[in-house]
Amino acid sequence: MPVIRVTLIEGYDEAVRDRLLEGYSAVTRTVLEAIPDGITIAIEEVKQSNYRRGNQRKNPKAPPPAPEQIVRDFLGAMERRDLAAAKTMLAADFAMTFPGGASFAKLEELIDWARPRYQRIGKAYERFDTVPGMESAVVYCFGTLEGVWPDGSAFSGIRFIDRFTVRGGLLVDQKVWNDLDAVRR
């Protein structure tokens, strides 16, 4: 039955404050199993001129988009094969791992690897999950794949899951598991 009060410098937009409120609510609920109505959270905004740390005013920078949004944007760019857009979302040391343990550092390598595996692929998302973290956030998404096999036949409803590490607004790695091989067998 906790009360959580957050002192925040004025200026964060409502979507950002919403994500804070939801995040604190979820953590409290998950850790304490308190009944939802016993979890009260309020953000108390103070003027920038009314806040000091180390006797210095702080000028909060606009936070990056939500990690889930970054991942959605990347997946969208990849699906329409807009590699230029997709690359702007990648950290310098980005790495991918695909089923069977195939690893790539560049998107082009992935494209080459995928070419003999399917002609076209698309994802239907069932759910995105975000794991908040100090160093980086993790975003999971899972759902089903549909597309066209190399022989021109269609497939759909094949389970997949992706795991992304997001740091500073950029993707650090992507790990992929799916049932393509289980189905194709």
- Residue number with CB closer to a copy of itself (22 or 79): 22
Give the whole-angstrom CA distance, residue 67 versus residue 72.
9
**Which member of 49, 84, 93, 151 binds a copy of itself (CB under 8 A)?**
49
State in angstroms the smallest separation of the CB of 17 from a copy of itself.
Answer: 6
Question: Quick check: 118 binds a copy of itself (CB under 8 A)?
Answer: no
Contact characters 130-169, a copy of itself, x per CB under 8 A: xxxxx--xx-x-x--------------x-xxx-x----xx
Spacing of C-alpha 131 from chain mean position: 9
Give the whole-angstrom CA distance, residue 13 versus residue 43.
12
Question: Quick check: 114 binds a copy of itself (CB under 8 A)?
Answer: no
10 Å Cβ neighbour count for 5?
9
**Which member of 23, 76, 122, 150 binds a copy of itself (CB under 8 A)?**
23
Cβ neighbors of 68 (< 8 A, separation 6 or more) are 128, 130, 139
**Please, what sign has the CA dihedral across residues 29, 127, 164, 62?**
negative
Residues 51-110 close enough to bind a copy of itself by CB under 8 A: 51-56, 58, 60-61, 63-64, 66-67, 97, 99-101
What is the three-class DSSP state of 125? strand
- Residue number with CB closer to a copy of itself (86 or 170): 170
